[in-house]
Amino acid sequence: MVKMAKKERSFDPIELEIFKSLFVSIAEEMGVALCRSSFSPNIKERRDFSCALFDADGETVAQGDHLPVHLGAMPLSVKSAIESMDFEPGDVAVLNDPYRGGTHLPDITLVSPVFIKGFDRPLFYVANRAHHSDVGGISPGSMPLAREIYQEGVIIPPVKLVRRGQIDRDLLNFILANVRTPVEREGDLTAQIAANRIGERRLIEIVGKYGAKRVLEYMKHLQNYTERIIRLTLQSIPDGNYDFEDYLDDDGLSGRPVRLGVEIRIKGDEAEVDFSSSDPQVEGSVNANYAITLSATLYVFRCLIRGDVPYNAGLMRPIKLIVPLGTVVNARPPAAVAGGNVETSQRITDVLLGALAKAIPERIPAASSGTMNNVTFGGIDPRNGQPFAYYETIGGGMGASPERDGLSGVHTHMTNTRNTPIEALEHYLPIRIRRYRLRPDSGGQGRFKGGDGIIREYEFLAPARINILSERRRFSPYGLQGGQPGKKGENILISRGQKRRLGGKVSIEVKSGDILIIATPGGGGFGRP
């Protein structure tokens, strides 16, 4: 029998569906406003952002169809803001501290309270998180091969960016003084403020129509409904202990592989997810904080649910997460974490799916590309003499499933961004894209074939510093049930006609005319060929 913490009052299932759609539509509309009003191609074109609604305790109620790596972690940022300040109407908090619910420093979160007339405290919160293409640090793009978080950019604890409707110019100027592209950053931050205003306005309208009591009740009903569905899903998995391990190529500094291990213990309608067998935190930037590990875990278990269940706080209630402090999946400050958000999150997903493949092999796909293939670069644009900084992720091959081939050239798992169109990239930046195509035969063979990766070739039209954080250059994406692994990725630099193979994590200077080639991994195959 499915357990529930307490008996729930009956509700109308039709009304539940109506409120679910209302709440999700608010988060989606926030995302549209943020996308359309932002300045940077990273947000406007790649859509590297997420929006969500929260109850008075900072628990998720609904989210847009945005990035999994953001949305599981954002409640921790919202709760950190609630604990750090007394909100007044019109306030907006800002933070990016990875050790207070953030993911990595370029992901800046804005949190707004929603006050309803007749109540002296916020009944709801709205928040959005967006990846800014530069927040300072030792290299453009703020994704360096760092040894400590202070090298990665400016750290913003929970603090009010807007006070009673007025932007705190002193705070904003302080943030802008620490970045390479202040005009773009100010435009993106004000777009984030506008997105939260949309969410606040829509929630007030819904309360005006249905009443605060009814809206609050259906928020709880929605969270409890998600809990019931995830418990039923866990009951469909055979009881037992299922373990798996996989490796990051290295931490970018030592050259040694980094082990991630998990044991999933299923008992009835509950799960215990234990990462105690993972390596201690490392010197490089592939350390993940607790928020990242939580996000990846929630994402994987949400993927097990058949049907369209809302992603909210109810999802985590029957899952116990064991993540020892000081490990690569729950690092202590001041560990560098830029790569933990983008790369280690993908490997956490891989080990969780690998463990579940032992329990429910007929439902789990082979490994996808397992990396976001992060490329950041910056310099001085000769067209206007101004600094530029850019960041993007590149898709790869999706792992084959028990039912079909994997998709080719897509973002998978913890990233859900789009690619930046070539026209936009060449308009904004002094570069030329020479090739952008699928990478033939990079997917693993099997009864069902893994998807192919991507080849993206940049020609730099001005000197620049490049940072690459990528994975699966040493360990291939695994196949399942006899399927072959996907092809490993490659990073290549061509300078003055000389071709040089680069490591998976590098920081290099390039000259005008140099060419960078990123060939991303394919997905693993499923079943014997």
User: Which of 44-53, 456-465, 516-525 shows the lowest per-residue confidence on average (mean pLDDT)?
Assistant: 44-53
Residues of the chain with pLDDT > 70, as a percent, come to 98
CA distances from 171 to 140, 156, 267, 446 (A): 22, 10, 50, 55
Q: Which of 37-51, 53-67, 107-121 shows the highest mean pLDDT?
A: 107-121
d(CA 383, CA 380): 9
pLDDT for the residue 14? 94
Mean pLDDT confidence for 291-306: 94
Q: Mention every residue, 6+ apart, whose C-beta is less than 8 A from residue 423.
A: none
Residue for token pair 């079909």: 404
pLDDT for the residue 1? 41
Q: How does residue 155 score in pLDDT terms, banded at 50, 70 and 90?
A: very high
Contact between 149 and 333 (Cβ < 8 Å): yes
Tell whether the model's pLDDT for residue 5 goes beyond 90.
Answer: no
Contact between 228 and 2 (Cβ < 8 Å): yes
Contact between 274 and 298 (Cβ < 8 Å): no
Dump pLDDT digits (tens) for 235-284.
999 999 999 999 999 999 999 999 999 999 999 999 999 999 999 999 99
pLDDT for the residue 2? 47
Residues of 79-117 as b/e, b for ≥16 C-beta within 10 angstroms? Answer: bbbbeeeebeeebbbbbbbbbbbbbbbbbbbbbbbbbbe
CA distances from 436 to 377, 418, 495, 502 (A): 18, 14, 19, 19
pLDDT for the residue 82? 97
Mean pLDDT confidence for 205-211: 97
Dump pLDDT digits (tens) for 163-184.
999 999 999 999 999 999 999 9
pLDDT for the residue 9? 61
Q: How does residue 472 score in pLDDT terms, banded at 50, 70 and 90?
A: very high
d(CA 121, CA 114): 9
Mean pLDDT confidence for 340-346: 96
d(CA 92, CA 87): 8
User: Which of 41-45, 89-93, 332-336, 469-473 shows the lowest per-residue confidence on average (mean pLDDT)?
Assistant: 41-45
Q: How does residue 8 score in pLDDT terms, banded at 50, 70 and 90?
A: low
DSSP string, 145-183: --SSGGGS-----SEEEEETTEE-HHHHHHHHTTSS-HH
At 89, which amino acid appears? P
pLDDT for the residue 172? 98
Q: How does residue 73 score in pLDDT terms, banded at 50, 70 and 90?
A: confident
Tell whether the model's pLDDT for residue 4 goes beyond 70.
Answer: no
Kindly tell me the burial class for residue 461, based on how many C-beta atoms sit within 10 Å of its own C-beta (0-12, 13-18, 19 or more).
Answer: middle
Which segments of 104-238 are extended strands (E)?
Answer: 107-114, 124-131, 159-163, 166-167
Mean pLDDT confidence for 369-377: 97
What angle, rounded to 10 degrees, do the helices at 182-210 and 13-37 form? 160
At 490, which amino acid appears? E
Residues of the chain with pLDDT > 90, as a percent, come to 91
Mean pLDDT confidence for 203-232: 97
More confident residue, 67 or 448: 448
Cβ atoms within 10 Å of 528's Cβ, excluding its own: 12
DSSP H or E stretch at residue 491: strand 490-495
Tell whether the model's pLDDT for residue 68 goes beyond 90.
Answer: no
Q: Mention every residue, 6+ apart, whose C-beta is less than 8 A from residue 506.
A: 145, 466, 467, 468, 491
Dump pLDDT digits (tens) for 504-519.
999 999 999 999 999 9
Q: Mention every residue, 6+ apart, whose C-beta is less than 8 A from residue 235.
A: 2, 268, 269
What's the mean pLDDT when you consider all of the chain?
A: 95
Q: How does residue 453 score in pLDDT terms, banded at 50, 70 and 90?
A: very high
More confident residue, 138 or 4: 138
pLDDT for the residue 440? 97
pLDDT for the residue 3? 53
Q: Residue 464 pairs with which residues in a beta bridge? A: 379, 510
Task: Determine if residue 479 is left, alpha or beta; phi over 0 gives left, psi from -120 to 50 gives alpha, anything else beta.
Answer: beta
Overall pTM > 0.85: yes
**Residue ranges covered by each domain of the chain:** 13-226, 365-529
